[in-house]
């Protein structure tokens, strides 16, 4: 399992798409935030930080689906998964290595992008507007946000496992991520729906921005873990007896 993960990460880190998409997903939200802060007046550092998180989520919708499409379907199309099977690795381990490498990449993107936008926020606007401690309002929120973004991104991993065509997977992922976000935003207008959305990763990408209480941290992490488990389980059901061309 360790060597499979190493194999996956080595391929990922030496691929062009990792660096090109990474550059886009790290710099574009911060560039947008920078421009917003240049032309806005009176925004506190804390509000700028929250704006940075929202910007990042918007770019995740656009770009993570592309990454997932290439990372997952690309491995099937280039027959690298087939090579791993023929080398005597169990399909579950292959799937887990693929999933973990995807999650590691999303975590790297998220940490770097959020660290950059957070630095810009507090450098340009000062450490202002905090109603809680910096550790909870910023560091804990950013950490939980990374986890829920990873869980949200896992949806595109799942979709890519079911769609074997790279272009189709990228298109579907974009639609899926966008629709999930739009539906969640619309449902937030209904009080009953919030009780449901807090159990979902997509709902938590919005809730965490306003609620960083211990109970919501626990809820966000639980929802993320459940999403990870569901994505792995459903992906395995698809992959375990799949005909590999």
User: Could you tell me the smallest distance in angstroms from the CB atom of residue 78 to another protein?
Assistant: 7
Q: Which is nearer to another protein, 12 or 30 (by Cβ)?
A: 12
Q: Which is nearer to another protein, 211 or 242 (by Cβ)?
A: 242
List contacts with another protein (CB under 8 A).
Answer: 2-4, 6-7, 10-11, 14, 78-80, 82-90, 241-244
User: Could you tell me the smallest distance in angstroms from the CB atom of residue 101 to another protein?
Assistant: 12
Q: Which is nearer to another protein, 35 or 244 (by Cβ)?
A: 244
DSSP of the chain, one letter per residue?
-HHHHHHHHHHHHTSHHHHHHHHHHHHHHHHHHHHHHHH--S--HHHHHHHHHHHHHHHHHHHHHHHHIIIIIHHHHTTHHHHHHHTT--HHHHHHHHHHHHHHHHHHHHHHHHHHHHHHHHHHH-S---SS-HIIIIIIHHHHHHHHHHHHHHHHHHHHHH---HHHHHHHHHHHHHHHHHHHHHHTTSHHHHHHHTTSHHHHHHHHHH---HHHHHHHHHHHHHHHHHHHHHHHHHHTT----
User: Could you tell me the smallest distance in angstroms from the CB atom of residue 151 to another protein?
Assistant: 28
- The residue count of the chain comes to 245
User: Could you tell me the smallest distance in angstroms from the CB atom of residue 241 to another protein?
Assistant: 5
Q: Which is nearer to another protein, 100 or 111 (by Cβ)?
A: 100
CB-count burial class (<10 Å; 0-12, 13-18, 19+) for 155: buried
User: Could you tell me the smallest distance in angstroms from the CB atom of residue 80 to another protein?
Assistant: 6
Q: Which is nearer to another protein, 79 or 233 (by Cβ)?
A: 79
User: Could you tell me the smallest distance in angstroms from the CB atom of residue 4 to another protein?
Assistant: 7
Q: Which is nearer to another protein, 70 or 150 (by Cβ)?
A: 70
């Amino acid at each position: 399992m360790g060597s499979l993960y190493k194999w996956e990460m080595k391929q990922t880190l030496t691929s062009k798409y990792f660096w090109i998409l990474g550059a886009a997903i790290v710099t574009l939200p911060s560039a947008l935030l920078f421009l917003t802060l240049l032309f806005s007046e009176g925004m506190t550092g804390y509000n700028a930080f929250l704006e940075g998180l929202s910007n990042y989520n918007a770019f995740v919708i656009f770009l993570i689906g592309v990454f997932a499409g290439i990372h997952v379907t690309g491995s099937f199309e280039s027959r690298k998964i087939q090579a791993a099977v023929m080398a005597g690795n169990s399909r579950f381990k292959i799937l887990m290595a693929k999933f973990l490498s995807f999650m590691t990449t999303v975590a790297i993107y998220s940490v770097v992008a959020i660290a950059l936008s957070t630095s810009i926020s507090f450098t340009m606007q000062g450490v202002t507007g905090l109603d809680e401690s910096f550790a909870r309002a910023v560091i804990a929120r950013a950490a939980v946000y990374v986890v829920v973004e990873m869980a949200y991104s896992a949806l595109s991993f799942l979709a890519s496992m079911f769609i074997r065509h790279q272009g189709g997977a990228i298109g579907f992922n974009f639609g899926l991520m966008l629709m999930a976000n739009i539906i969640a935003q619309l449902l937030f207008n209904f009080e009953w729906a919030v009780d449901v959305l807090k159990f979902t990763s997509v709902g938590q990408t919005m809730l965490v921005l306003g609620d960083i209480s211990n109970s919501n941290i626990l809820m966000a992490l639980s929802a993320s873990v459940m999403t990870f488990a569901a994505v792995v389980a459903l992906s395995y059901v698809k992959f375990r007896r799949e005909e590999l061309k």
